[in-house]
């Protein structure tokens, strides 16, 4: 029985540890068979994984299946995501070495050799049940590792189908299919926790509960943080360009991305013009009564309402009781002044709703961004639309964030873009600001162990005077 079929069979009784042990044995056997592959063979196998999703009929079928299974996002954008992220990641991976000697520093007498980290346990979210498993599998196999996917229960059917396609493509190349596996149904916390405890590296994208469980598993773990992106529209910005980019980014896959704009902070000097530009781009500015209706619909008992998150704009507007012009809009804006628990619009919304803040000066805009991140999303990312690069540099210097994007559609630049130097990924580390072990985009290097060969070099020992002289002169010996 294929893994895809097995995922649809619910066993009467199951021992999570025994189930995972079986997966691990097959994964390690596959790794052993793959271990001696050279770089060309590894790259061929990674390309096979990429093609399993990039292939147009697969990208389209899995996009439709994801929306049907999870009720999240929209199929056309998921097709774009499935192909764009896969193509971009393959571009990045084909340009780097991951087998044998990957770096030499003769002046230091160092040679670096890449080695596998082992079996990777990859926890993936319902927002991307096809793209994220393939993205992580490409990176894992680039390092000659095996991977076992632990999908969100809501996305299990889509992920199982995705894994089935990856395995078929591996078999086509003669590579072991068990390099990529998926947990069998029903996927639950005991089974996912058993995988976390048994594998060699856990990589988690998704809920912060899963991230915390990974850190507690006793296995080395890489987790990512929650997004809640604030973006500044500066007084020098090209307002129509900024508005179109914000609309494209905010609306992509119905705002499911952690990199989607959640708040826009507009400097007072251009506030009215910027709001007008956002309206021209397809935004609808809600009045006070409409704002309250949106709030009452989007949050139920303090939690986001699954009936409206990541839904098409006409569905969202209808659920909120908004009128005809709102229903014809692309996204919705609510004016906000506060930040924190009493102001939920300052939080991540996973919906086509954008909180709009007026800042008296650029200094005030920076303060608002800082307050929003302290409430939610610290370490993740910030955006700015400006002609003053000094303002962008200030954000990078002063704010506790891993990424500052300048004049970009945030969703399309933050996780890698063809006009962005950030590498393609679906997992953004947020540093210790959000309890993560990385503050960069997850990439192939995180799936490698490195052996350092060190040979003698001419002695590099400075004098005491060279190291302590300035200190002695200032403070004495």
Three-state SS at 117: coil
Phi, psi of 436 (to 5 degrees): -100, 155
Phi, psi of 323 (to 5 degrees): -80, -170
Distance, in Å, from the CA atom of 424 to the CA atom of 418, rounded to the nearest integer, reads 9
Distance, in Å, from the CA atom of 263 to the CA atom of 368, rounded to the nearest integer, reads 10
| DSSP structural state of residue 218 | S
Give the β-pairing of 448-454 and 221-223: unpaired
Q: Give bridge partners of residue 265 from the DSSP assignment.
A: 232, 357
Q: Give bridge partners of residue 114 from the DSSP assignment.
A: 100, 450
Is the bond leading into 186 cis (omega within 30 degrees of zero)?
Answer: yes
**Helix H or strand E encompassing 101:** strand 100-105
Distance, in Å, from the CA atom of 22 to the CA atom of 89, rounded to the nearest integer, reads 30
Cβ contacts of residue 310 below 8 Å, gap of 6+? Answer: 71, 72, 73, 127, 253, 254, 255, 256, 350, 351
**Is 251 one of the catalytic residues?**
no
Q: Are 375 and 366 in contact (CB under 8 A)?
A: no
Q: The tokens of 360 are what? A: 């008296």
Cβ contacts of residue 8 below 8 Å, gap of 6+? Answer: 157, 160, 185
> Within 10 Å of residue 110's Cβ, how many Cβ atoms?
14
Q: The tokens of 364 are what? A: 């005030």
List the catalytic residue out of 199, 251, 258, 430. Answer: 258
Distance, in Å, from the CA atom of 331 to the CA atom of 459, rounded to the nearest integer, reads 64
Active-site residues, by number, are: 258
């Amino acid at each position: 029985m294929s893994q895809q079929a097995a995922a649809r069979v619910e066993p009467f009784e199951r021992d999570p540890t025994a189930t995972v042990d079986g997966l691990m044995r097959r994964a390690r056997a596959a790794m052993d068979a793959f271990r001696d592959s050279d770089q060309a063979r590894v790259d061929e196998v990674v390309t096979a994984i990429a093609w399993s999703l990039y292939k147009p009929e697969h990208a389209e079928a899995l996009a439709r299946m994801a929306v049907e299974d999870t009720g999240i996002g929209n199929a056309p954008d998921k097709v774009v995501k499935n192909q764009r992220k896969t193509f971009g990641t393959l571009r990045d991976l084909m340009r780097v070495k991951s087998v044998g000697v990957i770096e030499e520093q003769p002046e230091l007498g160092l040679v670096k050799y890449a080695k596998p980290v082992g079996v990777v346990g990859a926890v993936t979210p319902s927002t991307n049940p096809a793209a994220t498993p393939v993205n992580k599998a490409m990176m894992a196999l680039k390092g000659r590792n095996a991977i076992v996917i632990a999908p969100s229960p809501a996305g299990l059917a889509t992920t199982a189908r995705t894994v089935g396609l990856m395995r078929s493509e591996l078999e086509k190349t003669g590579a072991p299919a068990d390099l990529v596996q998926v947990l069998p149904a029903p996927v639950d916390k005991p089974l996912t926790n058993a995988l976390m405890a048994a594998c060699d590296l856990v990589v988690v994208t998704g809920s912060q509960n899963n991230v915390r469980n990974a850190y507690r598993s006793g296995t080395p773990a890489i987790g990512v943080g929650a997004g809640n992106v604030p973006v500044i529209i500066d007084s020098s910005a090209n307002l129509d360009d900024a508005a179109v980019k914000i609309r494209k980014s905010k609306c992509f896959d119905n705002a499911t991305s952690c990199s989607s704009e959640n708040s826009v902070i507009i400097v007072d000097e251009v506030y009215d013009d910027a709001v007008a530009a956002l309206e021209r781009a397809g935004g609808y500015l809600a009045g006070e009564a409409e704002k309250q209706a949106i709030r009452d619909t989007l949050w139920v008992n303090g939690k986001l309402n699954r009936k409206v998150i990541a839904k098409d704009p006409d569905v969202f507007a209808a659920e909120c009781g908004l009128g005809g012009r709102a229903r014809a809009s692309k996204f919705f804006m609510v004016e906000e002044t506060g930040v924190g628990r009493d102001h939920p619009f300052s939080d991540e919304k996973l919906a086509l709703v954008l909180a709009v803040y007026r800042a008296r000066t650029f200094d005030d805009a920076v303060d608002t961004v800082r307050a929003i991140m302290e409430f939610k999303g610290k370490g993740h990312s910030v955006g700015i639309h400006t002609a003053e690069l000094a303002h962008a540099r200030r954000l990078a210097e002063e704010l506790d964030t891993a990424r500052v994007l300048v004049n970009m559609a945030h969703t399309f630049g933050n996780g890698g873009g063809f006009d962005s130097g950030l590498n393609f990924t679906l997992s953004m580390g947020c540093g210790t600001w959000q309890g993560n072990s990385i503050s960069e985009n997850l990439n192939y290097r995180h799936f490698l162990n490195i052996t350092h060969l060190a040979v003698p070099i001419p002695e590099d020992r400075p004098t005491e005077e060279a190291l302590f002289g300035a200190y002695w002169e200032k403070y004495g010996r």
